[in-house]
Chains A and B, each alone.
Chain A
Amino acid sequence: SQKIEQNSEALNIQEGKTATLTCNYTNYSPAYLQWYRQDPGRGPVFLLLIRENEKEKRKERLKVTFDTTLKQSLFHITASQPADSATYLCALDPSYNQGGKLIFGQGTELSVKP
């Protein structure tokens, strides 16, 4: 069956450290994978998109990798800050035809302690 899985346990790290979140998928061949941030009671906010032919993408303190052989994406936040505390969602497009029909992981809750 098709699945997309993220670390189910909350991730607690100290301010200034690098947070690494994992997204694994099975039985999909997505054209791209996206990462979103969701704060409590709010809607998801887009962070980064990485395509199947890209190995790595960066945006300020964020870095995403995409390994289509391992069927895995890693999401890194360097020099983490308490303001980075939120739930992070990965999502993929299972079809090449409908870009907005995304499959989301359950999310990983990140807590950065000062």
Chain B
Amino acid sequence: NAGVMQNPRHLVRRRGQEARLRCSPMKGHSHVYWYRQLPEEGLKFMVYLQKENIIDESGMPKERFSAEFPKEGPSILRIQQVVRGDSAAYFCASSMTSGPNTGELFFGEGSRLTVL
């Protein structure tokens, strides 16, 4: 039973380019979360999605960042016009349920973005 799959594992972009990170949740999970881990910092919540819906994007930067979880296919985190400060590890997590009984999150191995 495959876990949370993220790709690419490593991505290098030059300033001004676009980065697209993909996440396929665990089988049977319909709740997807994106977190960012900056060097020497903790994991920070970015966005929570269900199929075709953004539930909570309170952790997303106001500009250049967007996320989607279409009816078919993986969830996508898109960063437009990347800057050096976007260099970080981006983790996707999934859960089977939501709300107060969500319990554990299952994390992918992350996508490490380096902006030159």
Contacts and interface: CB of A to CB of B under 8 A. Distances in A.
A7 to B, nearest CB: 13
B93 A100 contact: yes
B69 interface: no
Contacts of A49: 103-104
Contact of A100 (B42, B102, B110): B102
A63 to B, nearest CB: 17
A99 B97 contact: yes
Contact of A42 (B100, B102, B103, B109): B109
A26 to B, nearest CB: 15
Interface of A: 31, 34, 36, 41-46, 49, 89, 91, 93, 96-107
Interface of B: 4, 31, 33, 35, 41-45, 48, 55-56, 59, 91, 93, 95, 97-110
B99 A105 contact: no
Contact of A99 (B35, B91, B103, B109): B103
18 contacts: A43-B4, A44-B91, A45-B107, A46-B104, A93-B100, A96-B99, A97-B100, A99-B102, A100-B33, A100-B98, A100-B105, A101-B33, A101-B45, A101-B59, A102-B43, A102-B45, A102-B105, A105-B42
Given A43-B108, A44-B107, A98 B42 contact: no
B42 A101 contact: no
A62 to B, nearest CB: 14
A27 B99 CA distance: 20
A48 to B, nearest CB: 9
Contact of B43 (A41, A42, A93, A104): A104
A34 B110 CA distance: 20
